[in-house]
Structure 1
Amino acid sequence: MIFKVLYQENRAEVPVRENTKSLYVEASTEREVRFHLKDRNYNIEFIQLLEGNHLAYEQASENFKVESLD
């Protein structure tokens, strides 16, 4: 499954919408995604499972690069 993670790069800063970034992670569960990203200093705002038309829409974006949990 592919998850979209919305996050701020610095956990200590106040979240600002304009600074929100996203990344795509391939994992079995949301818990695996959180575990994989725990060592990064990210302020995770939201993790969303992508499937169906939403996944197809995101895949059409030039910024779509999936990070694997190796």
Structure 2
Amino acid sequence: MIFKVYYQDSKTEVPVREKTKTVFVEGDSERDVRTKLADRPYNIEFVTAVEGKFLEYEKQSEDFKVLEIG
């Protein structure tokens, strides 16, 4: 399953909505995705599953790339 992760670049800075970034990660669950991203300095705000028409819509974006984490 593919998840969309909303995050800030730094855990030490106060979150600012205008600086929120997104990344797509493949995983089994939200917990699995958070575990895969644990070694990165991201301040994760929200993780949501992307499927169906929402996934098809996201795939139309030229910025759509699924992060490969082993």
Taking the aligned partners of 1:37 and 1:46, their CA distance within structure 2 comes to 13
Specify the code of the residue in structure 2 equivalent to 1:68. Answer: E
Give ranges in structure 1 of 5+ residues lacking alignment.
none
Specify the code of the residue in structure 1 equivalent to 2:3. Answer: F
Residue aligning to 1:50: 50
Residue aligning to 1:37: 37
Q: Deviations over 1:16-68 (max 9, x none)?
A: 11100000001111111000101111100000100111111111011100012
Q: How many residues align?
A: 70
| 3-state SS, counterpart of residue 39 of structure 1 | coil
Specify the code of the residue in structure 2 equivalent to 1:39. Answer: D
Taking the aligned partners of 1:36 and 1:59, their CA distance within structure 2 comes to 22
Q: How many percent of aligned residue pairs carry the same amino acid?
A: 56
RMSD (Å), alpha carbons: 0.7
Taking the aligned partners of 1:28 and 1:69, their CA distance within structure 2 comes to 12
Taking the aligned partners of 1:8 and 1:68, their CA distance within structure 2 comes to 19
Counterpart contact for 1:27–1:68, Cα < 8 Å: no
Taking the aligned partners of 2:39 and 2:25, their CA distance within structure 1 comes to 15
Aligned structure 1 segments of 4 or more residues deviating by more than 3 angstroms: none
TM-score w.r.t. structure 1 length?
A: 0.95
TM-score w.r.t. structure 2 length?
A: 0.95
